[in-house]
């Protein structure tokens, strides 16, 4: 009875209770073709920037799929075929559950106590791999399939291209899979925002030979297996990645491609995800297997090692969880610390952090005394404080009814920067027919992702005032 009522109300909201996996259909005529299905218009390619040669490769591309156990992916003939083209990493792990903290960890070196997929905006003094890359003139971009336009900060629903008869908009794009928009050190800098692009931009950038040197690709919620299954994602890989491996504007002898999953599906087991190293940079190692213990922090340390970058002074410098890809370590004489006891990476729950509303502490200072795999200094910006807050007693904002200043109102949407489309806002309960909820005003209590640092500080002061009251 309860179930009937629930499914009836879900049906009214246009959500199908028993989601069936659709059959894959290509969103565009080819991986480097533009398509109306991507919604956002292309605005021209990025400028062509010279590639900075690294010790093992001069381009690093990571592609993130979703929520699949190792054995499930291994059973797919597509994944097996791809494995024969590169190195299969059999002990590569997500760092926690659910999705969003894994994405954040992959660029910021920590997940700051985040334990859900809510709308966060990490303050400007959280540095990321982007700071390290830019300090060495290594060009970068992220391609987020079905993100409607540059600067868009919400979730986005649009016409369902897999079911042309459906009148219900489908949410193909979610903020939680775009770590760049979650970090204000990126999201508050327009020049950086222009490098977070969609797949129409990807098509134009590839064709113009303008792909940057460091790339993070997030397929949409059906193509990354989030809403579908391994059969579907395998079909997407056959459509997208298999031909791109043969495209010299994407993959050449100095390209390393990391194909991975954000996390596994079964929270009750170690968080190992089927991960491949592909591309010309590993052509001498085709069909080999590497059982070194890696995590998403390894993609940070490996890139730092390749280009001799600085570090973030966070888990990217923790040798237990941040081994450098072994084929590369052999080339650069980097020594990985191999431990017999591998830590469990399926931890979930409430750890202290700026994103943990129930155990809140400020953004902790990076460890300034470590040297990461790149050998360079720990990055600090003019907004980083090195005041250690490691011993700060966590406070329970939830109990105090104080909204965490590191969260934003899910209804908040940044203004478009010139490529406006008829966006349809989709916070979970938004009416499918409503147009973009472009309110730049934040509701009471929410920090605004675009507040300048001074105002963020003001908010924190306000919040402490509330505490004292
Ligand atoms: C994925 O879903 C489709 C459609 O429901 C189904 O035919 C296929 O067998 C599923 N794949 C797996 C591996 O379960
Ligand atoms: C969108 O994708 C569907 C499914 O593959 C396809 O039939 C349609 O032609 C595509 N639309 C555009 C504008 O490319
Ligand atoms: C890659 O190919 C280019 C052009 O053919 C060549 O100049 C370069 O040395 C090659 N790099 C490696 C690492 O083999
Ligand atoms: C993590 O996985 C281990 C098995 O590898 C299991 O014993 C443990 O209960 C899991 N932890 C959580 C929080 O589910
Ligand atoms: C390094 O990672 C391990 C495993 O997650 C953890 O136990 C340890 O506390 C970490 N070290 C530091 C300095 O964060
Ligand atoms: C790295 O070098 C070691 C020692 O020479 C060797 O055993 C190992 O197979 C190499 N690993 C890779 C991935 O090349
Ligand atoms: C690594 O060590 C070997 C042997 O000592 C040396 O020949 C090589 O130049 C070193 N490579 C790098 C990148 O430092
Ligand atoms: C920090 O540096 C950036 C760019 O270099 C500048 O725009 C910003 O105003 C500076 N902020 C502070 C607080 O000094
Ligand atoms: C980051 O800024 C907040 C104030 O906005 C401050 O409380 C915190 O200590 C800072 N942390 C670092 C590492 O700069
Ligand atoms: C924080 O407060 C809430 C609301 O009172 C409570 O449910 C929760 O258990 C507390 N969390 C912790 C970690 O103490
Ligand atoms: C978001 O917008 C919806 C629809 O207008 C509204 O019901 C909801 O309260 C808003 N949420 C917040 C947190 O402001
Ligand atoms: C798109 O192009 C226009 C005109 O060249 C420019 O003003 C605008 O900033 C661009 N927008 C983006 C998102 O790149």
pLDDT band at 2 (very low <50, low <70, confident <90, very high): very low
- pLDDT attached to residue 419: 34
Ligand at shortest distance from the CA of 172: 2
Nearby residues of 353 by Cβ (< 8 Å), 6 or more positions away: 110, 111, 112, 113, 114, 359, 360, 361, 364
Q: What value does the mean pLDDT take over residues 275-288?
A: 98
Return the minimum-mean-pLDDT range out of 11-15, 211-215, 296-300, 434-438: 434-438
Most confident of 3-12, 275-284, 434-443, 460-469: 275-284
- pLDDT attached to residue 340: 77
Is any ligand 2 atom within 6 A of the Cβ of residue 243? no
Over residues 371-406, the pLDDT tens digits come to 999 999 999 988 877 666 667 899 999 999 999 999
Distance 125 CA to ligand 5 centre (A): 22
Whole-number Å distance between alpha carbons of 459 and 202? 38
Contact 236, 70 (CB under 8 A): no
- Segment (H or E) for 237: helix 230-239
Show the CA angle centred on residue 20, arms to residues 18 and 21, nearest 5°: 150
Contact 212, 141 (CB under 8 A): yes
Q: What 3-state DSSP class applies to 168?
A: coil
Is any ligand 5 atom within 6 A of the Cβ of residue 319? no
Contact 150, 381 (CB under 8 A): no
Distance 11 CA to ligand 5 centre (A): 45
Q: What 3-state DSSP class applies to 311?
A: strand
Residue 23 has pLDDT above 60, yes or no: yes
Return the minimum-mean-pLDDT range out of 34-38, 154-158, 262-266, 408-412: 408-412
- pLDDT attached to residue 274: 98
- pLDDT attached to residue 130: 98
Whole-number Å distance between alpha carbons of 243 and 222? 20
112, 301, 321, 390: residue to mutate for ligand 5 pocket, most atoms within 8 A of CB: 321
Residue nearest to atom 1 of ligand 5 (CA): 318
Distance 102 CA to ligand 9 centre (A): 22
Mean pLDDT of all residues in the chain? Answer: 86
Over residues 192-220, the pLDDT tens digits come to 999 999 999 999 999 999 999 999 999 99
Return the minimum-mean-pLDDT range out of 18-22, 24-28, 222-226, 244-248: 18-22
Over residues 46-55, the pLDDT tens digits come to 999 999 999 9
Whole-number Å distance between alpha carbons of 156 and 136? 34
409, 411, 443: residue to mutate for ligand 11 pocket, most atoms within 8 A of CB: 411
Nearest ligand 12 atom to the CA of 416 is 13
pLDDT band at 417 (very low <50, low <70, confident <90, very high): very low
Share of the chain above pLDDT 70, in %: 83
Ligand at shortest distance from the CA of 25: 2
Distance 278 CA to ligand 8 centre (A): 39
Residue nearest to atom 5 of ligand 11 (CA): 430
pLDDT band at 33 (very low <50, low <70, confident <90, very high): very high
Residue 414 has pLDDT above 80, yes or no: no
Q: What value does the mean pLDDT take over residues 160-168?
A: 95
Domain coordinates of the chain in residue numbers? 57-350+407-440
Distance 130 CA to ligand 8 centre (A): 16
- pLDDT attached to residue 465: 35
- Which residues are tagged catalytic? 227
Percent helix, percent strand, percent coil in the chain, to nearest 5: 25, 15, 60
Whole-number Å distance between alpha carbons of 308 and 92? 23
Contact 76, 458 (CB under 8 A): no
Cross-strand bridge partners of residue 261 = 65
| 57-350+407-440: CATH number | 3.40.720
Ligand at shortest distance from the CA of 328: 6
Parallel, antiparallel, or unpaired for β 140-144 and 196-197? parallel
Over residues 283-308, the pLDDT tens digits come to 999 999 999 999 999 999 999 999 99
Pocket of ligand 3 (CB under 6 A): 253-254
Q: What value does the mean pLDDT take over residues 406-428?
A: 51
- Segment (H or E) for 299: helix 296-307
- The answer to whether the predicted template modeling score (pTM) of the entire model surpasses 0.75 is yes
Nearest ligand 9 atom to the CA of 405 is 5
pLDDT band at 463 (very low <50, low <70, confident <90, very high): very low
Over residues 243-258, the pLDDT tens digits come to 999 999 999 999 999 9
Work out the number of other CB atoms within 10 angstroms of the CB of residue 14: 14
Distance 38 CA to ligand 11 centre (A): 27
């Amino acid at each position: 009875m309860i179930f009937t009522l629930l499914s009836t109300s879900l049906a009214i909201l246009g959500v199908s209770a028993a989601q069936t996996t659709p059959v894959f259909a290509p969103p565009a005529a080819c991986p480097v073709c533009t398509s109306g299905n991507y919604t956002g218009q292309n605005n021209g390619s990025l400028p062509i920037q010279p590639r900075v040669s690294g010790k093992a490769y001069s381009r690093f591309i990571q592609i993130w799929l979703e929520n699949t156990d190792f054995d499930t992916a291994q059973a797919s003939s597509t994944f097996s075929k791809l494995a024969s083209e590169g190195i299969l990493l059999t002990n590569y792990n997500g760092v926690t559950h659910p999705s969003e903290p894994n994405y954040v960890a992959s660029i910021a070196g920590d997940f700051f106590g985040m334990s859900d997929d809510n709308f966060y905006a990490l303050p400007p003094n959280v540095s990321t791999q982007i700071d390290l890359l830019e300090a060495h003139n290594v060009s970068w971009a992220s391609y987020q399939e079905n993100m409607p336009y540059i600067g868009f900060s919400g979730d986005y629903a649009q016409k369902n291209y897999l079911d042309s008869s459906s009148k219900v908009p489908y949410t193909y794009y979610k903020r939680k899979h775009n770590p760049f928009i979650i970090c204000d050190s990126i999201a508050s800098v327009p020049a950086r925002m222009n490098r977070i692009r969609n797949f129409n931009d990807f098509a134009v950038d590839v064709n113009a030979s303008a792909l940057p040197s460091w790339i993070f690709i997030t397929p949409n919620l059906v193509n990354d297996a989030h809403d579908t299954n391994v059969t579907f994602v395998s079909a997407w890989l056959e459509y997208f990645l298999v031909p791109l491996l043969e495209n010299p504007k994407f993959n050449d002898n100095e390209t390393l491609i990391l194909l991975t999953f954000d996390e596994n599906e079964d929270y009750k087991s170690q968080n190992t995800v089927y991960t491949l190293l592909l591309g010309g940079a590993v052509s001498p190692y085709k069909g080999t297997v590497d059982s070194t213990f890696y995590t998403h922090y390894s993609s940070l340390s490996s890139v730092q090692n390749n280009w001799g970058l600085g570090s973030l002074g966070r888990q990217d410098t923790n040798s237990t969880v941040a081994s450098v890809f072994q084929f590369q370590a052999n080339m650069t004489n980097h020594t990985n610390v191999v431990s017999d006891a591998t830590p469990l990476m399926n931890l979930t729950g409430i750890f202290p952090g700026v994103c943990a509303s129930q155990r809140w502490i400020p953004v902790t200072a990076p460890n300034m005394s470590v040297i990461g795999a790149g050998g360079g200094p720990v990055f600090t910006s003019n907004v980083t404080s090195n005041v250690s807050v490691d011993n700060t007693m966590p406070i329970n904002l939830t109990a105090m009814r104080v909204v965490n200043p590191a969260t934003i109102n899910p209804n908040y949407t940044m203004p478009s920067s010139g490529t406006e489309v008829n966006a349809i806002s989709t916070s979970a309960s938004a009416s499918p027919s409503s147009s973009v909820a472009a309110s730049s005003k934040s509701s009471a209590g929410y920090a605004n992702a675009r507040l300048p640092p001074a105002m963020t500080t003001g908010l924190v002061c306000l919040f402490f005032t509330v505490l004292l009251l």
